[in-house]
Structure 1
Amino acid sequence: MMVSPRWLAVLGCCLVLSAQAGESVANFATQVPLTLSGEGPWYRLDLPLAVQLHARQADLADVRVFNAAGEAQAYSLTREQAPSGERLQLHEVKWFPLYDSADAGSAVPNVRVQSNAAGTLVQVQPSSQLEAGEEVRRGWLLDASAIKAPLQQLILDWSSEQDGFQRFSIEASDDLQHWQAWGEGQVARLSFADERVEQHEVALPGQRARYLRLLWQTPQAAPVLTSAQLQSLTTSSPVQPLVWSEPVAGNRTQAGEYTWQLPMGLRVERLQVQLTEANSLAPVTLAGRRDSSLPWQTVSSGLLYRLTQNGQDVVQDQLQLPGQVVQQLKLTVDDRGGGLGAEVPSVRYAVRATQLVFLARGAGPYRLALGSSSEKTASLPLATLIPDISPKRLESLGQARVEEGTLVVSPVQTPLPLNQGTDWKRLGLWAVLLLSVLFLAAMAFSLLRKPAVKP
């Protein structure tokens, strides 16, 4: 039976109307009101992790923004960086000792610095002459001026007469005058059960800096460095910061083995294991997978500890992951270190922040909707949504935020009235769709009743 182009056009209109009618706020199980500030019509929203976890698709294809009339807004979604767009590079850097007098306490050493025209350090000396035997090596100054990418990791090697922990503060500067705190670092060299356990890596915040200053806290005198390396990360677009989850409870599957189930598949980059008992020491291996039908794959390993030294807790409770999608995690503990105690530890995981930019059309209030297993992604490239976009322009966009009191979202079983009165536009679309279907059914019935033409 031949169908004329006229009927094909009618059928195409029906499909278009069906798609338009299907993009409804009622199709999304969770809705969160948004508060706008600043100048529009584009607004930037940093999606809280607690809200993202109400999505039903791992790639957040079921995220939308609606206005008061229930109309979907054009938007662009920026998630964590894809591994294919990243390039890790390891750099050997120069290091210079920082000396001060033994009675200087925790004061920052004053130094004279000499550098060449490119900013590369040539010499670092104390600002005043120290007597022999009075000087103490307080730390080290690292020259990262040749590295143009954000710094992700510090890797140190050192010589020391005895095993133990090395704790130091980390500061960053571009001019050697103004310093920004980058937190604390810990490295360790330990011996137990006839084996040697060493930790050389320290995570950095993923920012650029020309110089790093490491000042030792425990012990007060810094060891002699034998190697200093910095790992940088280059991406095609700016890296979003890490956001941390709430604690996730786990299960003990057997002695020395623990598992955790995440709410959905996520690109986890850091894992923090709760160490509740003092003097815990545990070499561990971490495995992950997307679901229980797949085999476990090792994603990280390291040394976790919570030890008391000089009346203070020395804690290393984080593992770094490669950022591949996992929904289940398994931690295997080497029990020769004493294990993690009687209780099953909880964990917190960190993923890259997610940012949504939308073009506000129509009247507010606006709301974020998510939680649909059938919706397809509607995210536009940011350059399409904002043709003249630039990093400076992006920073100047209006802000949208989820109010703290509305983070508890409720499933929606029936359409919520976003405005008063009847939505005649939507009713009209459904009426036209229904009439079109009835018309096609009548046409098909008429063709079936028509007697066949005899040859």
Structure 2
Amino acid sequence: MSQKLNLYWLGAMTMAISLSVGALEKPADFTSRVPLSVTGEGPWYRLELPLAVQLNARQTDLSDLRVFNAAGDVQAYALAREVAPTREERTLTDVKWFPLYNAEGAKETAPSVRVQSSANGTLVQVQPSSQLEAGEEELRGWLLDASGIKAPLQQLTLDWTSERDGFQRFSIEASDDLQNWQSWGEGQVARLTFTDERVEQHEVGLPGLSARYLRLLWKTPHTAPTLTSAQLHSASSRSLPLPLVWSPALSGSSAKPGEYTWQLPMGMNVERVQVELNQPNSLAPVTLYGRRDSSLPWQPLSNGLLYRLTQNGQDVVLNELQLPGQTVQQLKLTVDERGGGLGPQAPNLKFAVRATQLVFLARGPGPYSLALGNGSVKAANLPLTTLIPDYSPAKLATLGAATVESGTVITKTSTVTSSVTAPTDWKKIGLWAVLLLSVAFLAVMAISLLRKPPAKS
């Protein structure tokens, strides 16, 4: 009998879960809606989220963002926070090379040498540590001077002369002081002739590390060829400015001299602030604090020197502070007034957050709209690699574009008004009625089973 009761209750719970899952989110569940226009080839579209739109969210991480089609169906979407792009700068440098001799038949792996270098480490002369007689010396390899290259080394290109064609195999070692050497593996170049064709390989890959000197030692055969050219390819990555979106100017307040506060529309991950300096020749050492709400203590975020100085008839301005990107909703700026202060009125302030892209998969009839403003819903965004099965950064750049329609005014929907004027959802009421009746029926059956006398044997 207990098994029957468990089955009855399991059936009731399953029905309840099915009803709750079936009650999908609707556009009316959100306080703000923004029409979207799409161009280009779908079915994926990419939208740069304007900050004015983001400020209508009720959740800091935009968990309450949704995309709907014309029929009110939710669209699958992903959010991508912009990261600072990098630019790789590649350089090809001709380097000096110095021969490394050893006694013929010597068992030492590396020749012993005496080195003369300049104050900045550039090699001037490299000689064997002991004088070798003519005919006794053997060219074992070459020492390359890379002291003038500061970027990581990516590739080595050699040219040489040799009595016969074939492969040239050698070990590669790196050092910064000519005393301690680190193995960078082995290299191979080749010059081959086959029938009437000539095949040459001059490039050798390097591990992408920095070093002041390279040592190339031939093993088989022991005698190295004569180099005629040595070039090193280096590459360095330079971070470009982080893509940011800026807010309109916010007015603040001042409770006492040298202290100003601002209230943000909602909690934001602020990356940078800009303080408006109205008066020429302003100089202000400042410290910026932040917190999520007034019940929490202020936390220091940044400090620096803000100024607007007139030089040669032109203004030289530094009015920005960089922040760590943590969530704040209130900002406070304290000013060391020994520099003259910023006046009794709080200056206007702009804040910047990291640019965010929305990518959605268009399904069903357009036009499409963006909805925000619901503090109770959970995040529904997918990873980009799930939304776009063959995702790559290059593919992201080729997606169709979605934009907020020009001149669009964000539609605000009062939840109180909508609850009064919304038409009665008879379907939902009927489903809940069926659920309640089913639960009541199961309860009656359970009671009757409990009261039924046990069968006589």
Conserved? CA contact 2:44–2:400, under 8 Å: yes
1:362 is aligned to 2:364: yes
After TM superposition, give the deviation of residue 16 of structure 1 in Å: 2.7
Any idea what SS the aligned residue of 2:364 has?
Answer: coil
CA 1:454–1:255: 2 relative to 1, 3 Å: farther
After TM superposition, give the deviation of residue 314 of structure 1 in Å: 1.4
Gaps of 5+ in 2: 96-148, 155-235
After TM superposition, give the deviation of residue 263 of structure 1 in Å: 1.3
Conserved? CA contact 1:78–1:356, under 8 Å: yes
After TM superposition, give the deviation of residue 278 of structure 1 in Å: 1.5
Gaps of 5+ in 1: 89-113, 119-142, 149-229, 417-421
Any idea what SS the aligned residue of 1:405 has?
Answer: coil
- d(CA) in 2 for partners of 1:383, 1:51: 25
Q: 2:259 corresponds to which residue?
A: 257
Instruction: Determine which of 271, 274, 284 is the counterpart of 1:272.
Output: 274
Q: 1:313 corresponds to which residue?
A: 315
Q: 1:435 corresponds to which residue?
A: 434
Any idea what SS the aligned residue of 2:42 has?
Answer: coil
Any idea what SS the aligned residue of 2:411 has?
Answer: coil
After TM superposition, give the deviation of residue 299 of structure 1 in Å: 0.8
Counterparts of 1:192-211 in structure 2 under 5 Å?
none
Counterparts of 1:183-194 in structure 2 under 5 Å?
none
Name the % identity. 54
| Equivalent AA in structure 2 for residue 39 of structure 1 | E
- d(CA) in 2 for partners of 1:400, 1:144: 44
Conserved? CA contact 2:252–2:262, under 8 Å: yes
1:270-312 per-residue CA deviation (whole Å, 9 max, x = no partner) reads 1000111121110001111112222211110011111222221
Q: 1:344 corresponds to which residue?
A: 346
Q: 1:190 corresponds to which residue?
A: none
Counterparts of 1:26-425 in structure 2 under 5 Å?
26-79=28-81, 116=93, 241-413=243-415
Conserved? CA contact 1:75–1:385, under 8 Å: yes
- d(CA) in 1 for partners of 2:379, 2:153: 38
- d(CA) in 2 for partners of 1:415, 1:359: 29
- d(CA) in 2 for partners of 1:19, 1:434: 17
- d(CA) in 1 for partners of 2:32, 2:433: 28
After TM superposition, give the deviation of residue 404 of structure 1 in Å: 2.7
1:38-65 per-residue CA deviation (whole Å, 9 max, x = no partner) reads 1111111111100101000011100000
After TM superposition, give the deviation of residue 21 of structure 1 in Å: 1.1
- d(CA) in 2 for partners of 1:438, 1:317: 67
| Equivalent AA in structure 1 for residue 402 of structure 2 | A
After TM superposition, give the deviation of residue 444 of structure 1 in Å: 2.5
CA 1:46–1:240: 2 relative to 1, 3 Å: farther
- d(CA) in 2 for partners of 1:343, 1:445: 72
CA 1:415–1:69: 2 relative to 1, 3 Å: farther
- d(CA) in 1 for partners of 2:48, 2:444: 54
| Equivalent AA in structure 1 for residue 438 of structure 2 | F
- d(CA) in 1 for partners of 2:316, 2:153: 31
Conserved? CA contact 1:30–1:412, under 8 Å: no
So what's the TM-score if we normalise by structure 1?
0.62
Any idea what SS the aligned residue of 2:293 has?
Answer: coil
CA 1:327–1:387: 2 relative to 1, 3 Å: same
Conserved? CA contact 2:27–2:72, under 8 Å: yes
1:151-177 per-residue CA deviation (whole Å, 9 max, x = no partner) reads xxxxxxxxxxxxxxxxxxxxxxxxxxx
1:452 is aligned to 2:454: no
| Equivalent AA in structure 2 for residue 438 of structure 1 | L
- d(CA) in 1 for partners of 2:336, 2:78: 45
| Equivalent AA in structure 2 for residue 295 of structure 1 | P
After TM superposition, give the deviation of residue 429 of structure 1 in Å: 5.7
What is the root-mean-square deviation of aligned Cα atoms in Å?
3.3
